[in-house]
A and B are shown apart, each in its own frame.
Chain A
Amino acid sequence: MSSSTVDLAKLTIEDIFRAKEERRQRLAALPFDKKIEIVDKLRSATAVIKNEKLVFESFLKAYPDFAGERIKEWDVVEEWYAKRGLTPPPEPFNKRPDIIALTGSGKRIGIELKNWLIQQQIGEARRRERIQDKILQAIEKPPNETQTIGYVWLFPKQAQFEARDAEGFRHQLLCQIAKADDEMARRPAFEELSTYDIENFCDFPLLGKYLHRIRFRPKARGRGTIRWIRFPDASRHYSPREMLESLDGALLSHRSDERYNKDLKKEVGLDEVYLLVHYDFKAFAYNTPFAAPGFGFKEAANFARESLNGDGGYFDRIFLFHFLSGQEKAERIF
């Protein structure tokens, strides 16, 4: 039943059921991988809605009066229209902004959610994790049978690990560990607590191919038995500067983003539009932290306020939200 042949005046309930059944059969006949592609899309759409709900729910708890009065009802944009049986505005306004809320006095507010994160860092961190996983898989779990070594830290290069190198890499790593164990055993007593680094892998080319350095920590400083071969924490050395620069850049580009210009208020029927920039677990896990000694969320919010310099662009209010479980904090920055 194509749309060109439908005469709405003559449409019966049976027609609707028949059309539904035909659609079901057409979808059921798709190849398995095409069906899973559809499932995947359904899953990610739901995940986005779930995440937006979670962020806003938590923000509302942290800052219930963010609109200057209590919120009477709210929903993620798609659900706002669906639950109330309202006709959504035309595209692209039917999906903007992320949240629609109604205040106690009847003011209709739209809230756009944005992540505070450095996407490039996330990509790098995930690539690093993939390389580390491949290396861990290659070396399996050898027991720590050394005399002097407590832990071994591997510093991998950003090189794709090839499966055919796995066995050779494992063998060379165990030989290098045995060699370092011998050398550390011959060190004078005053060096007993010092770490021992290897950066020259001329005897072990596969190690040189994938590693910058291996650091051996002496047993005298603690001995690992199960996960004794590991990787250093990539975020140990940092400065909050990078995250603040990204916040500055993001705020300045969001406030002048044409998608939220005055047409949005008119088309969606909003009295005000707010921007909510949130720092969540993804940023915490993959980005350099924004906090440093003497510099926390309050200071980051002050920094953001100064960046905006009293200009919220298309937004009536802008908020910064620290969305980490148990540490939720929110500040109005414009």
Chain B
Amino acid sequence: MEKVIEILNRMQADGVIERFAIGGGIATIYYLEPYQTDDIDVFFLPVVLEDSGLVTLEPIYSYLANLGYYPVKEGILVENWPVQFVAPFKPLQEEAVMQARLVVYGKTPTLIFTSEHLAAELLRSGRPKDHARVINLIQSKQVDMEVFRDIVRRHDLTDEWNEFKSRYDLEE
């Protein structure tokens, strides 16, 4: 995976993307135990927007195609890892990219969602497996609850959080 991170860093240095951070399963594994995940979710801030204001993935796809990496399913296969590029469509995701935590994988630095942003994003996406990860993150004391509650409040997730607490019988 180190090679993938090197390529992502180079993409950022070459101005293909403004900034990126790893979220999803890989970020969860950074904080919790390893489990099977098939791809790397890369949340990125785009350099260019189309006239319509939409984000285009074309510069990413053509940059990686030039390096010999081509699309598979929803992502691009880079060094045997399917990488999914996700342009933030919620302010929460954008903030998660901007405030991501610097970590080192092998010898290569990269940015990963903070555990608080990760938990909030998993709460927002709301699939049962995401909820299970939120519980694990909180129970393993990886989440600073003050920070988390602040993120939840600022990003209008208070209702989801209250429902989550009552559904899973969670005490604060």
Contacts and interface: CB of A to CB of B under 8 A. Distances in A.
Given A133-B67, A136-B66, A136-B68, A35 B29 contact: yes
Interface in B33-65: 33-38
A137 B63 CA distance: 9
The number of chain A residues touching the other chain, given as a range, is 20 to 34
Contacts of A35: 29-30, 33-34
A133 B78 CA distance: 13
A141 B67 CA distance: 12
B4 to A, nearest CB: 10
Interface of B: 1-2, 26, 29-38, 66-68, 103, 105-106, 140
Contacts of A133: 67-68
A38 interface: yes
Interface in A199-222: none
A46 interface: yes
B103 A32 contact: yes
Given A32-B105, A33-B105, A36-B105, A137 B66 contact: yes
Contacts of A8: none
Interface in A129-156: 129-130, 132-133, 136-137, 140-141
A43 B80 CA distance: 10
Contact of A43 (B30, B36, B105): B36
Contacts of A140: 66
B77 to A, nearest CB: 12
Contact of B33 (A27, A32, A132, A141): A27
Contact of A38 (B30, B34, B103): B34
A30 interface: yes
A42 interface: yes
B93 to A, nearest CB: 22
Interface of A: 23-25, 27-28, 30, 32-33, 35-36, 38-40, 42-43, 46, 129-130, 132-133, 136-137, 140-141
Given A42-B36, A43-B36, A36 B68 contact: no
A96 B61 CA distance: 41
Given A30-B34, A32-B103, A33-B1, 5 more contacts: A28-B33, A32-B29, A40-B1, A42-B36, A46-B36
A28 B67 contact: no
A181 B1 CA distance: 43
7 contacts: A30-B34, A33-B1, A35-B30, A42-B35, A42-B36, A43-B38, A130-B68
Contact of B35 (A25, A39, A40, A132): A39
Contacts of A42: 34-36
Contact of A39 (B34, B67, B106, B140): B34
Nearest to B36: A42
Contacts of A38: 34
Nearest to B62: A141
A36 B36 contact: no
B134 to A, nearest CB: 15
B119 to A, nearest CB: 15
A28 B32 CA distance: 5
Contacts of B105: 32-33, 36
Leading 10 A-B pairs by shortest Cβ distance: A27-B33, A133-B68, A35-B34, A42-B36, A38-B34, A28-B33, A24-B33, A39-B34, A36-B1, A28-B32
A28 B140 contact: yes
Contacts of B2: 33
B34 A33 contact: no
B140 A36 contact: no
Nearest to A45: B36
Contacts of A129: 68
Contact of A33 (B66, B67, B106): B106
A119 B34 CA distance: 32
A207 to B, nearest CB: 20
Contacts of B103: 32
B124 to A, nearest CB: 23
Contact of A137 (B31, B34, B38, B67): B67
Contacts of B30: 32, 35
Contacts of A40: 1
A232 to B, nearest CB: 17
Nearest to A46: B36
Contacts of A24: 32-33
